């Protein structure tokens, strides 16, 4: 049996389902294969992001922050709350309901746009054929003019801390805990580790993060990273850098089980810690297992990602790959835009993705967000640059909201005045940095931003003032230099 499509997409995460919808909108006969199942054993779209990643973690981050704010932030507003209770299973249930609503929404979008939704597994064969195995085990070969691989990524396992799903868990398991661990260990202080550690820290757990790297949030501008670490430490997170885990051992039985973690500290000395739960968050790797037949013609790069060019075309004609399974940062929005680009290029358009202007966000509180180049990257390039910063403690809106931690940092070319990057730790950083991303897309200068009228009082005025500060014209803080 053989079915023919214009486009077959393998994977229905943010890169895959967006690609499938856009391809169908462009008049292409499209099918999308997804293997993920929900807790009821039914096929579900949305991939890691909607089911066990971006969305559920943000639901818990918001719930946990509300609880933390009741306990630590209400009193100074003249609001007294006594005996605030915590129902963790209900909190987890709310998260699950949000996930269900969004994944069902994708099913509705597929139906509305005419995408054929297939649950099961897909394997790329030669000549753009896809071996589709449905949930009952039935195998069908789908023929396609174009195949888009959007198989995503999966957590990296480490031999020194094997996940057992009970005491040692991965990021997925950390979203399903039914009680607050007394003491929680997290291996890895990257984006995922910080977000999950923040959730349980706010709910009352003593959280220790063991990070092998000596630099904190190395992907971020280091001035912003240092400020972020200071804020998180003040919140109670115990972040230990330069710590390499060498082993773990389960202690006790039943409900009294704990895990003893052995690691080498920054000074090289061996140390041990005992935790009620241990989350392993050391990164993710592209998912390619049983995905590519030997004769399919698709090559992998040295990191195990599918090799693609700047337009996400593989070296096999008519085969494309997008999202976490290809080079670049593993970000849902990056994958989604690649999905749109590929669908439109298949339809004959010349769409491109501007990889230089992709925002990156850590959804702790306050948020950390960036776009463009860091100061370290600009300095390494040898380009002349200037910097404008503005602290939220000088923002009337931030003070009114009791959100005074953090700052906006703007990096600007010394000669052309064009914005090269913006880095923020502070309230609504994810939304504020997008304003600068739009400006950068259109080649704006710091002066362009400085001449715009920003509403008052708003948090976005901090962006305005940072742009002014880059040229020594800030109004609400003293300038380092005058012109």
> Coil, helix or strand for 158?
coil
The DSSP 8-state label assigned to residue 156 in this structure reads P
> Does domain 366-470 bear CATH number 3.30.390.30?
yes
Contact 263, 169 (CB under 8 A): no
The CATH number of 168-282 is: 3.50.50.60
* Predicted local distance difference test score (pLDDT) of residue 482: 52
CA neighbor of 427 nearest in space, from 455, 457, 448, 407: 407
Is the pLDDT confidence value at 181 over 80? yes
Asked whether the domain spanning 168-282 has the same topology as the one spanning 2-155+285-346, the reply is yes
CB atoms within 10 A of CB 249: 12
Q: How is the chain split into domains, by residue range?
A: 2-155+285-346, 168-282, 366-470
Contacts of residue 3, defined as CB under 8 A and 6 or more positions apart, other chains included, come to 31, 140, 141, 142, 143
Per-residue pLDDT averaged across 293-317, rounded? 97
d(CA 424, CA 390): 10
Is the pLDDT confidence value at 215 over 50? yes
d(CA 438, CA 165): 42
* Predicted local distance difference test score (pLDDT) of residue 82: 87
d(CA 194, CA 175): 13
> What's this model's pTM, rounded to 2 decimal places?
0.96
Active site includes 456?
yes
d(CA 278, CA 184): 6
* Predicted local distance difference test score (pLDDT) of residue 1: 38
d(CA 454, CA 9): 43
* Predicted local distance difference test score (pLDDT) of residue 321: 98
The CATH number of 2-155+285-346 is: 3.50.50.60
* Predicted local distance difference test score (pLDDT) of residue 254: 85
Show the tokens assigned to 175. 């979203």
pLDDT digits (tens, 9 = 90+) for 111-152: 999 999 999 999 999 999 999 999 999 999 999 999 999 999
- Catalytic residue from among 311, 365, 423, 456: 456
d(CA 292, CA 418): 44
Is the pLDDT confidence value at 343 over 60? yes
């Amino acid at each position: 049996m053989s079915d023919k499509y214009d486009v077959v997409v393998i994977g229905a995460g943010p890169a895959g389902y967006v690609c499938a919808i856009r391809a169908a909108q462009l008049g292409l006969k499209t099918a999308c294969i997804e293997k993920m199942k929900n807790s009821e054993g039914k096929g579900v779209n949305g991939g890691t992001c909607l089911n066990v990643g971006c969305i559920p973690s943000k639901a818990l981050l918001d719930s946990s922050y509300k609880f933390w704010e009741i306990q630590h932030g209400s009193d100074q507003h003249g609001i007294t709350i006594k005996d605030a209770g915590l129902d963790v299973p209900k909190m987890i249930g709310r998260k699950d309901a949000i996930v269900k609503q969004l994944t069902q929404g994708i099913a509705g979008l597929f139906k509305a746009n005419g995408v054929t939704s297939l649950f099961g597994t897909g394997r790329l064969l030669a000549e753009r054929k896809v071996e589709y195995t449905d949930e009952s085990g039935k195998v069908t070969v789908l023929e396609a003019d174009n195949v888009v691989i959007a198989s995503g990524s999966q957590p990296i396992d480490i031999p020194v801390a094997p996940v057992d799903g009970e005491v040692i868990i991965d990021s997925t398991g950390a979203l399903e805990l039914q009680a607050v661990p007394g003491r929680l260990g997290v291996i890895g202080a990257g984006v995922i580790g910080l977000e999950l550690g923040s959730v349980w820290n706010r709910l009352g757990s003593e959280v220790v993060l063991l990070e092998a790297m000596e630099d904190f949030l190395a992907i971020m501008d280091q001035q912003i990273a240092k400020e972020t670490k200071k804020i998180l430490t003040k919140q109670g997170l115990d972040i230990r850098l330069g710590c390499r885990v060498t082993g773990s051992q389960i202690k006790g039985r039943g409900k009294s089980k704990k895990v003893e973690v052995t690691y080498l500290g920054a000074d090289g000395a061996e140390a041990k810690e005992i935790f009620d739960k241990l989350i392993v968050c050391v990164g993710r790797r592209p998912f390619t297992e049983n995905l590519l037949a030997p004769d399919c013609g698709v090559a992998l790069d040295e990191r195990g990602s599918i090799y693609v060019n700047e337009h996400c075309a593989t070296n096999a004609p008519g085969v494309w790959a997008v999202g976490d399974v290809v080079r670049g940062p593993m970000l849902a929005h990056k994958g989604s835009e690649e999905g749109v680009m590929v669908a439109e290029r298949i339809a004959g358009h010349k769409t491109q993705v501007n990889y230089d202007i992709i925002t990156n966000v850590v959804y702790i509180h306050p948020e950390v967000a960036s776009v463009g180049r860091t100061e370290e990257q600009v300095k390494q390039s040898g380009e002349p640059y200037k910097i404008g910063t503005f602290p939220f403690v000088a923002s009337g809106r931030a003070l009114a909201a009791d959100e005074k931690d953090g700052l906006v940092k703007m990096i600007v070319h010394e000669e052309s005045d064009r914005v090269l990057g913006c880095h923020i730790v502070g309230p609504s950083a994810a939304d504020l940095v997008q304003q600068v991303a739009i400006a950068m897309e259109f080649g704006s200068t710091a002066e362009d931003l400085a001449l715009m009228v920003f509403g008052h009082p708003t948090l976005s005025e901090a962006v305005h003032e940072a742009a002014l500060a880059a040229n020594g014209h800030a109004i609400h803080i003293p300038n380092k230099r005058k012109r």
